[in-house]
């Protein structure tokens, strides 16, 4: 659709264009980017885009939170950055990822593309378990066997899926990666591991010290990922020295002869042991200190999801399901946390007097009930603050109960919400787990809803009623309070004629990219402080000044259009960076006539650069004369 294409174009433009994109992909609610130069990102402009719920860096990965239409937006974005999700830019400029950041980014990039397959197959297995529990399906019949094969196929052949996504992530040939997965899953090794043959180990190349253990790599996660990493470097090294005429045939063959034995001998067993070790740590943690582990993980799960760290837990959850048959930490805690965000949003919908916020809270609450929490978290609960805390408290309490009881998921459910309830059904047919899942479903919605209704929050006033700018203020008065709103007054820094910002010839100001405000055509040769505060920015050209006000307002006064080209000529600064200034204090002197004689406009912009921090920025008048010290803008929180 046109609106998704427009949003994709604007996001891409504000991350620095396709040339700045190293990789792009998406998860359930977010566009995710690896960028060559993150300094090019205009994060505040992206946050203002219609359709964007938020934007943030998680480590060195840039995330744009779009919500449940993210796949539509990505479908328009993908052709713009290339079919492999990458632009044409060069190497990253002086950026090095830390180990934790790089690991998180890598895991997210590997697992996100295969989530639809994992979610669909896992949910199908969950429904099968539920139907068996309810007596609707016989787990020995043909129908169950076929449907179970569908659900099992993704997990049994998981190394193939991971081989492709890992190869795409590290930029190596995905078909060569599939050969690694195919070798690891070859019946010779699978049969030996299952005891169908008498083979207990293998040797290769006549080297007796190489003893390849017999392991079953079906459903494994870490071995194939490590193998693909090795493949990338070996293949690139071999190609570097291979004559181009024979590289197509011999580079892959030599790579296989090196990588496959190392994988079967060292990397495979190492990855298997790492996965088993991590699995045992979490199982032990919930067995020994279940309530404490549940309290912490459940309570802080929204913050974990916000940073994308939940992807780091995905391999462990999959490992647990494949080895011990259940996941006791990731999906149970996400289930409780997601529903708590929904319950808090529904509380906001009932209690708020703002009609627009009510509608947003209802729709985002429904999305969170399904398992998509970003609209509720960013658009509602965090916006009014306290409901977000109520949701965290509720999920912590219920997480502690879940940890004490031993609440488990028996399959992977994808979107962890109401439709994921079947994954908590015990395949053995025991009724208890599904009953507990239904109880936690209700409590996770109700508890934060009640807390929100009882303790309340600071409501967002409706537009138009929020803050009517006062028509008269005392000369030195800079802040007023009305009900739950705070109004900060910005005085005019100079005398002249008002000019609406949209009429300024510089599109950066006219389109309010820097923020909302007003412009003035000066009739005097100096500017004064519009608020009391501190000088934040004062370039050598002295044509502009940035002020941090005592009430948190950030004001930019930009004298003229393109006056930076004068390199300070015709300007005289009377203050310096970090100086304390008082409202009405003279800041900069300039020569209007000399500036005009140089062919440069003198219209002066007064911009609130932290506009997103306010409900609105209101101007007293749109035209006519204005005097130094007269009220110019009202900032409403």
Given the residues 11, 12, 27, 566, select the one marked as catalytic.
27
Is 27 part of the annotated catalytic residue set? yes
Q: How far is CA 311 from CA 110, 113, 203, 315, in A?
A: 9, 12, 37, 8
Nearest CA among 193, 335, 212 for reference residue 269: 212
The CA radius of gyration of the chain, in Å to the nearest whole number, is: 30
Q: How far is CA 611 from CA 10, 123, 591, 615, in A?
A: 20, 44, 30, 8
Structure token pair of residue 497:
């004629």
Sequence-ordered list of residues with C-beta below 8 angstroms from that of 337, at least 6 positions apart, any chain: 298, 301, 302, 305, 373, 391, 395, 399
Between CA 332 and CA 329 the distance in angstroms is 6
3-state secondary structure of 481: strand
* Contact (CB, 8 A) for 264 and 184: yes
Q: How many helices (H) and strands (E) does the chain have?
A: 20, 21
The residues, any chain, with a CB within 8 Å of residue 376's CB and separated by 6 or more, are: 341, 342, 344, 345, 361, 364, 365, 367, 368
3-state DSSP: the chain helix, strand, coil percent, rounded to 5? 50, 15, 30
* Residues comprising the chain, all counted: 637
Catalytic residues: 27
């Amino acid at each position: 659709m046109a609106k998704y294409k427009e949003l994709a174009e604007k996001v891409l433009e504000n991350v620095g264009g396709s040339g700045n994109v190293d990789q792009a992909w998406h998860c359930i609610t977010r566009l995710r980017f690896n960028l060559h130069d993150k300094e090019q990102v205009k994060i505040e402009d992206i946050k203002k885009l219609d359709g964007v719920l938020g934007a943030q860096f998680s480590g060195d990965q840039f995330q744009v939170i779009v919500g449940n239409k993210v796949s539509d937006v990505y479908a328009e974005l993908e052709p713009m950055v290339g079919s492999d999700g990458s632009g044409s830019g060069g190497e990253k400029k002086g950026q090095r990822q830390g180990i934790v950041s790089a690991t998180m980014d890598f895991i997210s990039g590997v697992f996100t593309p295969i989530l639809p397959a994992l979610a669909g197959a896992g949910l199908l297995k969950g429904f099968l378990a539920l139907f068996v529990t309810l007596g609707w399906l016989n787990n020995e019949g043909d129908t169950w066997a076929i449907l179970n094969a569908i659900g099992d196929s993704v997990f049994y052949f998981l190394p193939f899926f991971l081989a492709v996504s890992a190869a795409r992530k590290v930029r190596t040939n995905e078909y060569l990666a599939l050969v690694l997965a195919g070798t690891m899953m070859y019946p010779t090794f699978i049969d030996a591991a299952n005891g169908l043959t008498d083979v207990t180990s293998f040797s290769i190349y006549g080297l007796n010290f190489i003893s390849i253990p017999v392991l079953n790599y079906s459903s494994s996660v870490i071995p194939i990922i490590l193998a693909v990493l090795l493949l990338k470097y070996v293949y690139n090294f071999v190609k570097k020295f291979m004559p181009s005429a024979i590289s197509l045939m011999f580079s892959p063959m030599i790579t296989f002869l090196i990588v496959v034995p190392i994988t079967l001998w060292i990397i495979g067993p190492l990855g298997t042991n790492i996965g088993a070790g991590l699995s045992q740590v979490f199982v032990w943690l919930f067995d020994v200190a279940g309530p404490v582990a549940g309290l912490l993980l459940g309570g802080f799960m929204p913050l974990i999801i916000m940073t994308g760290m939940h992807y780091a837990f995905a391999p462990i959850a999959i490992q647990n399901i494949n080895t011990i048959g259940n996941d006791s930490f990731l999906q149970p805690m996400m289930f409780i946390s997601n529903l708590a965000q929904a319950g808090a949003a529904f509380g906001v919908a009932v209690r708020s007097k703002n009609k627009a916020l009510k509608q947003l809270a209802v729709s985002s609450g429904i999305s969170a009930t399904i398992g998509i929490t970003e609209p509720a978290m960013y658009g509602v609960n965090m916006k009014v603050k306290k409901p977000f805390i109520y949701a965290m408290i509720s999920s912590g309490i219920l997480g502690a109960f879940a940890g004490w009881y031993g609440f488990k998921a028996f399959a992977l459910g994808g979107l962890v919400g109401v439709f994921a309830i079947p994954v908590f059904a015990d395949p053995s047919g025991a009724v208890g787990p599904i009953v507990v899942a239904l109880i936690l479903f209700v409590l996770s919605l109700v508890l934060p809803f009640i807390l929100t209704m009882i303790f309340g929050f600071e409501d967002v006033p409706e537009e138009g009623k929020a803050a009517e700018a006062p028509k008269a203020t005392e000369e030195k008065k800079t802040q007023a309070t009305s009900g739950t709103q705070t109004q900060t007054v910005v005085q005019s820094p100079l005398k002249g004629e008002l000019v609406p910002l949209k009429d300024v010839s510089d599109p950066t100001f006219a389109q309010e990219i820097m923020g909302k405000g007003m412009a003035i055509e000066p009739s005097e040769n100096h500017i004064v402080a519009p608020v009391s505060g501190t000088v934040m920015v004062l370039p050598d050209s002295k044509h502009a000044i940035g002020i941090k006000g005592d009430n948190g307002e950030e004001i930019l006064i930009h004298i003229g259009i393109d006056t930076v080209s004068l390199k300070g000529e015709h300007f005289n600064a009377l203050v310096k960076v970090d100086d304390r200034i008082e409202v009405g204090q003279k800041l900069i002197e300039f020569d209007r006539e000399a500036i005009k004689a140089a062919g440069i406009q003198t219209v002066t912009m007064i911009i609130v650069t932290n506009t997103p921090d306010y409900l609105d920025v209101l101007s007293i008048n749109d035209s006519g004369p204005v005097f130094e010290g007269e009220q110019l803008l009202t900032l409403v929180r």
